[in-house]
Structure 1
Amino acid sequence: QKIVERYPEEKDALYMIGTVYYHYLPDLEAAVRYFNKVIEMDPLHKTAYNILAYAYDRMGDFDKSIWAINQYISIAPDEANPYDSRADLYAFNGRIDQAIQSYQKALEIKPDFYASQLKLGNMYLFEREYAKAESSYKVVASSSEKEARAVGRLALSLVPSYQGKLQEALQILDAGIAGDGMEQFQEGQIDKHSAKSWIYLGKKEPELALREAELTKDIHDKVYPDDPTRLRPLYAYFLAESGRIAEAEELLREVRKDIEGDDPALMRHYWASLGAIELVKGNANSAVAHLERVQRESLSPGFFVNYLLAEAYLESGKLAEAVALLERMLSSYD
């Protein structure tokens, strides 16, 4: 802001302010205002158009989001990223066929653009074209990049999971964990143990879910020793689901002391887990209050928060709110 006050036409500073408003505060109207200022100064600013498109979409203006991303495409028609972004926007708005076409266009330009390959697999999964989904994920799992291979091994478990074949999904995850171990890539094991914890929770096996959640946290803390708090709120939720509510609440109190006033994103994890634990305790109204707070303060609260909020609405007698939220979740493929 100080740079812009002194140099009002410093577009890089304006762009950075826009990204802060978009990613961290969040304030979509302010972000849009700053990105449009950048574009007025530089009509060929690709990344400004890209984030502007996502901002318009999050504001509920699909037409403007497509206009912005098409501007990016007109500037860089031979790049894969704008087609990938356009596919995201179509997917977010339930337009799977158009999303598939746009992901395919991105891959036509850049065959090793694994983000598009992965999301293309997701679209096939939503369409219940399981063989095509598996084929897409296998491409990612055979990447020349270790990180992509790990993600591909995780994604392969989605095919049986989506069909309710949970034991098969667990076997694929175990094979993926072993593969990550052979490649000495512990980072890749974190999400796989996390996926196993959610599957066990869905199977009504909370002790096994807690075991996997603890493994997730322990590996994360080993790989990222400077970031020990990120997974603790979620671990507290699994403690509560296994009946250890007092321990869960004590852990959350410790987490709050460590992060309050320091990191708004981590505080949203705290409020989400607090709401989830209140739901486990049967305090639906309190759960609604905490989970709605996360929704207000986050551009993308995620499936976990939205699903638990819908459940809390149901348990607190707010049927209309639950139906509306679940309908929104069903219409967006993200």
Structure 2
Amino acid sequence: GAPAAGEKVPITTSSDAARASYLEARGLVERLRAQEAKAVFRKAVDADPEFALAWLGLAGAQNSAKEFFAALDRAVALAPKATPAERLMIAAAQAGAQGDNATQTRKLQKLTALYPSDERALVLLGNVHFAAQRYADAIAAYERAVEIAPEFSQTYNQLGYSYRFLGRFEEAEKAFTEYTRVLPDDPNPWDSLAELQMKRGRFDDAIANYRKALAVRPDFFNSNLGIATCLDLKGRHAEARAELDAMIARAQDDGQRRAGLFARTVSWAYEGDLTAARAEMGRQAAIAEKNQDALGRSGDEAAMGNLALAAGDLDAAARHFARALELAESAPAVSDAVKANQARFAMFNRAKVALARRDLDAAKKEQQALATAAEQAGNPFQVRFAHEIAGRIALAEKRWDDALAELGQANQLDPYVRYRMAQAHAGKGDRAKARELADGARNDNTLVNLNLALVRQEKDEI
């Protein structure tokens, strides 16, 4: 029958030891300590190799694409042995990994209908809305979770970011402050509060709270990334990279090393040295190469393509983007759905090269293919990419109103999208609106954001 009121999603395992390890690891992940959680999830699956939810947890704690898919595939294979609710969680994660947000949302709506009193199920649903930038829907799910479990810390973090992305900074600050109350001895609440202060241009306050997070846990590397970003935004690039070098020296695995190297790439871009940025990206790619992480390598090639585009090296950009697709398509043990997802990213990348070459016919062809494929796949993120390309084509053709209509449906969190909207307003002769949007794009103040670094290098003609 239906679950009783107040019931939580069941956890199916034959082993008490496995259950205890799973609960411990889940608690670590909820406090953003995935690095420690990995070993504890591993203990859970060692104690019960058929424990589907523990494999799902292990997947979520990974920081390499290769390890993520290996664990997720085990969870999917074991799902038939679990309860209907656990099967919904696993199916949702699988859909998410394939870029199918629509299916992921449906599965989690079913889960929360089955277990309306499970705060974790509500947070999962909120997170899927959040990822698709449906922040009002996310907030509704998180607020319900807060009512059910006011001491469940994770909800306040997600709530804070949702308000932040809506520009409701006072409510965001309130949620993050509540988060520090519920978890005072944990680094992440201080880190989240610092990130909001950075967003608002309060760099010194942000650095102080990032340092507070590191005082609680010296290996909470996200805060090193935050400090480095604040320093870059203050124009202190050498100090930013020194902060990152200290982090890389203490890194516990290659995932953390790669994160540090990517932040160094972004720091060089802030400084305007794209040659150094491209070399840094090569160091990151070498780690994925060593670990035979084809999907990780594919992402690196795409980033190298974006840097080559920014440097005006269009042939190199085209080569990097082609290699990114090749690596994804030839990756062992990667499902057709994941490959199809990568093929859609490739359409976006080819369109960007065509635009840079002023080959608008080729750009239009890729845009139409992407718009159709993204719509069919139920991937709102890539639907926004299709609108971005359509907007950029309109911009190139000086169709200013069309450009604004399309760019308005692109990713509003990307400072480059807002910068291009500024260009369209400038084209229309509305200097004040153009200046406001361009300044907003340049002062986006977001964590380790390559597009922000590149926007700040744009020669100001607005």
Show structure 1 runs of 5+ residues with no match.
Answer: none
Query: C-alpha deviations, 1:243-264, integer Å up to 9, x for none?
Result: 4332232222222332224222
Partner of 1:177: 285
Contact 1:154 1:191 in 2 (8 A): no
- Alignment equivalent of 1:264, drawn from 358, 380, 402: 380
Q: Which residue of 2 aligns with 1:331?
A: 443
**1:136 alignment counterpart:** 243
1:65 and 2:172 matched: yes
Task: Give 1:269 deviation, angstroms.
Answer: 1.4
Residue type at the aligned position of 1:332:
D
Do 2:254 and 2:287's aligned partners in 1 also have CA atoms closer than 8 Å? Answer: no
* Whole-angstrom CA distance in 2 between matches of 1:168 and 1:182: 22
Match of 2:84 in 1: none
Cα pair distance change 1:134/1:288, threshold 3 Å? same
1:290 aligns to what?
406
> 1: CA distance between counterparts of 2:374 and 2:167?
32
Flag the 1:243–1:268 CA change in 2: closer, same or farther, 3 A.
same
Instruction: Give the percent of matched residue pairs that are identical in Structure 1 and Structure 2.
Output: 23
User: Does residue 125 in structure 1 map to residue 232 in structure 2?
Assistant: yes
Q: Deviations over 1:229-278 (max 9, x none)?
A: 23421321212212433223222222233222422222111111221233
* Counterpart check, 1:306 vs 2:413: no
CA 1:40–1:232: 2 relative to 1, 3 Å: same
Give the alignment partner of residue 254 of structure 1, picking from 369, 372, 395.
Answer: 369
Aligned match of 2:207: 100
Counterpart residue type for residue 38 of structure 1: A
Deviation at 1:103, TM superposition (A): 1.6
Q: Distance in 1 between matches of 2:133 and 2:211?
A: 34
Aligned 1:34-49 pairs, distance under 5 A? 34-49=141-156
Question: Aligned pair in 2 of structure 1 residues 211, 280: CA closer, same or farther (>3 Å)?
Answer: farther
CA contact (8 A) 2:125 2:138 kept: yes
**1:156 counterpart = 2:271:** no
CA distance in 1 between counterparts of 2:111 and 2:295 reads 38
Q: What are the superposed Cα offsets for residues 125-179 of structure 1, whole Å, 9 maximum, x if unpaired?
A: 1122223211222234342211221222222223332222222333333344344
After TM superposition, give the deviation of residue 50 of structure 1 in Å: 1.1
**Does structure 1 conserve the Cα–Cα contact (< 8 Å) formed by 2:305 and 2:318?**
yes
Distance 1:5 1:172, change over 3 A: closer
1:266-319, CA deviations, whole angstroms, 9 ceiling, x for partnerless residues?
Answer: 21111112212332344333222110122xxx5x53123222222222223232
Aligned pair in 2 of structure 1 residues 150, 122: CA closer, same or farther (>3 Å)?
same
Tell me how far 1:121 sits from its aligned partner: 1.2
Residue 225 of structure 1 pairs with residue 332 of structure 2: no
Deviations 1:172-231 (A, max 9, x none): 333443444344344444454334333333333333332333333333444453523234
Which residue in the other structure is 2:132 paired with?
Answer: 24
CA contact (8 A) 2:190 2:212 kept: yes
For 1:157, what is the secondary structure of its paired residue?
helix
1:278 aligns with 2:386: no
* Preserved contact between residue 123 and residue 142 of structure 2 (Cα < 8 Å): yes
CA distance in 1, matches of 2:118, 2:167: 29
C-alpha separation between the residues in 1 aligned to 2:191 and 2:113? 35
The structure 1 residue matched to 2:428, chosen from 313, 316, 319, is: 316
Aligned in 2, Cα 1:117/1:191: closer, same or farther, shift over 3 Å? farther
Contact 2:135–2:166 (Cα < 8 Å) also in 1: no
The alpha-carbon distance between structure 1 residues 215 and 317, as it changes in their structure 2 partners (threshold 3 A), is farther
| Alignment match, 2:58 | none
Give the number of aligned pairs.
329
Greater Rg by CA: 2
**Are 1:93 and 1:333, in contact at CA under 8 Å, matched by a contact in 2?**
yes
Unmatched segments (≥5 aa) in structure 2: 1-108, 332-337, 447-462
| TM-score of the two chains, using structure 1 as the length reference | 0.86
Which residue identity does 1:275 align to in structure 2?
A: G
Question: Structure 2-normalised TM-score?
Answer: 0.64
Partner secondary structure for residue 320 of structure 1: helix
The answer to whether the 8 A contact 1:288-1:312 is kept is yes
In structure 2, the residue matched to 1:236 is 351
Contact map agreement 2:416 2:441 (CA 8 A) in 1:
no
SS in structure 2 at match of 1:225: helix
**Distance between the aligned counterparts of 2:401 and 2:316, measured in 1?**
29
Change (3 A) 1:98 1:186: farther
Query: Is contact 1:285–1:312 with CA below 8 Å preserved after alignment?
Result: yes
**Structure-2 separation of matches of 1:170 and 1:125:** 18
Change (3 A) 1:23 1:157: closer
Name the CA distance, whole Å, in 2 between partners of 1:12 and 1:161. Answer: 39
Distance 1:251 1:73 in 2: 47
Point out the more displaced range, 197-206 or 38-47: 197-206
34-43 or 285-294, which moves further after superposition? 34-43
Task: Give distance in 1, aligned partners of 2:307 and 2:300.
Answer: 11
* Contact 2:135–2:162, Cα closer than 8 Å, also in 1: no
